[in-house]
């Protein structure tokens, strides 16, 4: 009976192929290692909220200042 596993069997360095296939690296890594901690996620959310607020303020200033500059340039003072 053949044992089937989702995790590839680790190879000895002597039996590894002479190309870029490193199956031992696949066996050692897990997708859970790439998930950020809660502190990192909260920090990213804080920075995104600050950036969003800055964008909204810049857009509001642009909507106020741009027509004033246009009217000044077109009609002059």
Could you tell me the two tokens for 12? 């000895």
**Confidence band, pLDDT 50/70/90 cuts, at residue 40:** confident
Tens digits of residue pLDDT in 68-77: 999 999 987 6
Quick check: 60 pLDDT over 90?
A: yes
Q: Where are the domains of the chain?
A: 36-77
Residue 16 CB-half CA count within 13 A? 12
Mean pLDDT of 52-71: 94
């Amino acid at each position: 009976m053949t044992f089937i596993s989702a995790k590839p069997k680790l190879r000895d360095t002597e039996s590894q192929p002479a190309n870029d296939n490193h199956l031992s690296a696949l066996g050692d890594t897990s997708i859970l290692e790439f998930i950020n901690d809660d502190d990192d996620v909260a920090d990213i959310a804080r920075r995104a909220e600050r950036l969003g607020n800055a964008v909204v303020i810049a857009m509001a200033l642009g909507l106020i200042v741009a027509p004033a500059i246009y009217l000044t340039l077109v009609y002059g003072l």
